[in-house]
Amino acid sequence: MEIKKTLYILAFALVFAIDKPIFGQTEFGLSCSPGYSGAFVTATSSFRNYSRQSFSDSIKKDQEMFFSPGFGAFFVKKSGRFDQIYVGLQYQSYGWGRRKKDLKFLSPIHDDVGKVLDLSQSVEKDVAFTFKFHQIVVPFYFLTPIRIKRMPVGLTISAFFGGGLHVTFMQKNTAKTISFKAYDKKVFNLPSENFDGSPLNISAQTGLRMTSNLGNGYLFSFMPGISFLPIPSRNQYERQFQYRGQIELGISKFFK
């Protein structure tokens, strides 16, 4: 019901913003969006069978960013009410990583893994955690042109702001030991229910869109931007505030 309600709101906003036929003065295109994602992660006060101290130690401090690719399709529509609107359908990955360093004998690795049982102290023992969320995203932007004197012919620059509807269809959480093994394993899959965010979320996004006319109605677009995506955990063990910086590259066809 919540997903349907959100889709109805987005559809209403799209109809409200467009006051001309959809195939008039419109771009249709494909895009790829390499980027890096990370997160601010905090533990909450509700832990059931977990102690706050032990669970917080598994998620706090030293969050790391990692490469998160994306690709999809989009259209850009001129509008009388707004200069342009941008609507897309994309695959994107979000998430974050963290590393616990210099573990010793009997140091806790994670509540779902256990403790270090390797007696050797000759090498530094680390554990790398990764929390990846694979999502379908519907971005919705409003674009306003930035007018600069002596702009090169065929080049336009616009600022965009808006958001996106994010639907998580797969999640992968792992812990990987570095320089040692635990229980004769190096990679552990962490139970997703302990880090399970809401499957439907809305992000805030902003950035710039630069387009270059390639001729014959084709455009090349370059869109650096950033998104901010709060993810409340359904089990209330943690709160994730994910972010993603990206550069979207697109090729589109312009129809007058």
| Number of structural domains found in the chain | 1
pLDDT tens-digit map of 127-177: 888 888 899 999 999 999 888 877 777 788 999 999 999 998 888 888 888
Q: Kindly report the CATH number assigned to the domain that includes residue 197.
A: 2.40.160
**39 lies in some domain:** no
Domain hosting residue 145, numbered range: 65-255
**112 lies in some domain:** yes
pTM exceeds 0.85, yes or no: no
Phi, psi (degrees; rounded to nearest 5) at 193 = -65, -20
Per-residue pLDDT at 247 exceeds 50 = yes
- Return the pLDDT at 1: 47
**170 lies in some domain:** yes
pLDDT tens-digit map of 102-125: 777 777 777 777 777 776 666 778
**24 lies in some domain:** no
**250 lies in some domain:** yes
**27 lies in some domain:** no
**14 lies in some domain:** no
Question: pLDDT confidence of 4, banded at 50, 70, 90?
Answer: low
Number of H helices, E strands in the chain: 2, 14
- Return the pLDDT at 204: 95
**205 lies in some domain:** yes
Please enumerate in sequence order all residues whose Cβ is within 8 A of that of 167, keeping only pairs 6 or more positions apart, or say none: 3, 135, 136, 137, 199, 200
Q: Which residues pair with 144 in a beta bridge?
A: 159
